[in-house]
Amino acid sequence: MTAESRDSETPQSRWNEPAIRVLMMPRDTNAHGTIFGGVILSYIDQAGAIEARRQGSRFMVTVSMDKIVFHEPVFVGDLVSFWTETLRIGTSSITVKVTCEAIRGNDLQQKVTVTEAQVVYVNVGEDRKPAPIKRIANALSG
């Protein structure tokens, strides 16, 4: 998916900027010399939480990560963008799809989808029990 097609989609399903963009560093490598999958999962969780917050959730916990697919390895020096899409908003939960796209090295035209996942968050109150999500009028404006 190109940046142009992202911009043309409705704001409630896509934003025209990634939730997070990270330059991968040597400290995050595994024994194979690629970026450790757990590092990518951590960023997926953070990116999904940013999307949940954009939709009106303020205090959330991660309930599940599902349909995680590692399509390609991530290398040191890759610039990885974490794009988010709200799939479902319930009374107290939000399901978010996160797509990770890497720009390899200095070639800004070489974009590769490296990982995808779905994450479910539950909005919680001060008592740490599920609480209704209070949608705000400008939550979708980014």
Report helix, strand or coil for 9. Answer: coil
- pLDDT at 11 > cutoff 70: no
Q: Judge whether residue 135 has pLDDT over 60.
A: yes
**pLDDT at 138 > cutoff 80:** no
The pLDDT of residue 94 is above 80: yes
| Secondary structure E strands in the chain | 20-23, 60-70, 79-89, 93-103, 111-123
**Helix (DSSP H) and strand (DSSP E) numbers for the chain:** 2, 5
pLDDT in tens, 38-62: 999 999 999 999 999 999 888 999 9
In the chain, the domains with their CATH numbers are 3-132 (3.10.129.10)
The pLDDT score that the predictor gives to residue 57 is 85
What would the pLDDT profile of 20-37 be if each residue is shown by its tens digit?
A: 999 999 999 999 999 999
What count of other Cβ atoms lies within 10 Å of the Cβ of residue 6?
16
Q: Is the model's pLDDT at 118 over the cut of 90?
A: yes
